[in-house]
């Protein structure tokens, strides 16, 4: 098989990381590929692997040998899956490879917002505790998480894992989900989206991005939010209207916005969230640990081999 990886820089943590994929056929990898380079680099490819590179209907129409598209991630919104389906080309993703890692980052962001560990660490580096008269140097109160109410919007693998982290901390867990109560852990109570924002201290976005929910967290929804609510987003940046969320932070409607994702990545210098108060932002790294990278490589390898054996798996279209 002729296999091309169009943006392999995200996974090449060592010279041997991609060896299992290389063993499947003729293999080429590019660090990054601009949208106008896709056809040229993939023209002879039977299998394309991408992480965040877009594959459009126009690309698919110009690639005569293409038989399989592998997404080296869970989300596949960068692929025109309808155009691929019309050509009979399976699109396979990597589901559930980073569940614990992303939930861990969501918890880390929440704990940072609640406890200001980084803030006080920087103060200590600047010698402010050294010059303090008291043993306890505090500039503002921390947030007690015990007894708080948290709503998980989208109760899939990651949402469930995050709930499992929060529940032992004494947090009441609610879920905005289409699942029935019988499908949820006994400690989770279903709730509507509006009720979640009105009554919960923490709301975590763990749902996929679709055209129906793009920017659903906006000024209208936030106008009914419980004052001081913490909003966590480790799903997709475009689930929120960034200007509206930044404004809610400035006004104090939101107590914090904790996110690993932005609408544009990398962000422009004038992204309103970058300078908003109490915005805790990491650069889309929640998914990436040594263990998760190895899992992606293993899943992509299995997906390609299964397709070659005539039994495609992990097909999303």
- Residues marked as catalytic: 236, 265, 284
What single-letter DSSP state applies at residue 118?
A: H
Angle at 126 between CA 122 and CA 132, to 5 degrees: 105
- Of 235, 199, 186, 201, the residue nearest 215 (C-alpha): 235
| Residue whose tokens read 């109760």 | 155
Please tell me the chain's helix, strand, coil percentages from 3-state DSSP, rounded to the nearest 5: 35, 15, 50
Q: Residue 279 forms beta bridges with which residues? A: 257
Longest distance between any two alpha carbons in the chain, whole Å: 74
Angle at 65 between CA 70 and CA 310, to 5 degrees: 55
In the sheet with 279-281, reading across from the earlier edge strand, the strands are 188-190, 172-176, 149-153, 202-205, 229-233, 254-259, 279-281
What single-letter DSSP state applies at residue 144?
A: P
């Amino acid at each position: 098989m002729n296999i091309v990886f169009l943006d392999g820089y995200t996974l090449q943590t060592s010279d041997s990381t991609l060896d299992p994929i290389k063993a499947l056929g003729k293999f080429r990898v590019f660090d990054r590929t601009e949208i106008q380079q896709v056809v040229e680099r993939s023209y002879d490819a039977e299998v394309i692997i991408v992480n965040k590179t877009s594959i459009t209907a126009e690309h698919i129409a110009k690639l005569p040998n293409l038989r399989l598209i592998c997404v080296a991630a869970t989300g596949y919104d960068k692929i025109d899956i309808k155009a691929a389906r019309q050509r009979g080309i399976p699109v396979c993703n990597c589901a559930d490879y980073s569940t614990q890692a992303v939930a861990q980052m969501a918890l880390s962001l929440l704990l940072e917002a609640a406890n200001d560990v980084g803030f006080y660490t920087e103060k200590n580096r600047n010698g402010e505790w050294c010059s303090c008269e008291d043993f306890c140097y505090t500039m503002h109160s921390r947030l007690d998480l015990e007894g708080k109410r948290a709503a998980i919007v989208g109760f899939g693998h990651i949402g469930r894992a995050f709930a499992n982290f929060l529940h032992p901390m004494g947090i009441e867990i609610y879920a905005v989900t289409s699942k029935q109560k019988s499908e949820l852990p006994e400690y989770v109570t279903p709730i509507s989206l509006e009720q979640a924002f009105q009554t919960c201290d923490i709301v975590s976005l763990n749902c996929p991005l679709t055209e129906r929910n793009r920017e659903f967290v906006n000024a209208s929804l936030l106008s009914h939010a419980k004052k001081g609510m913490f909003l966590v987003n480790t799903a997709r940046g475009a689930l929120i209207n960034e200007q509206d969320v930044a404004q809610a932070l400035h006004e104090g409607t939101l107590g914090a916005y904790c996110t690993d994702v932005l609408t544009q990545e990398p962000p422009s210098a004038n992204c309103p969230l970058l300078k908003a108060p109490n915005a805790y932002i990491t650069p889309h790294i929640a998914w990436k640990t040594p263990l998760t990278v190895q899992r992606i490589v293993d899943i992509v390898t299995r997906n390609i081999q299964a397709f070659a054996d005539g039994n495609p798996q992990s097909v999303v279209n």
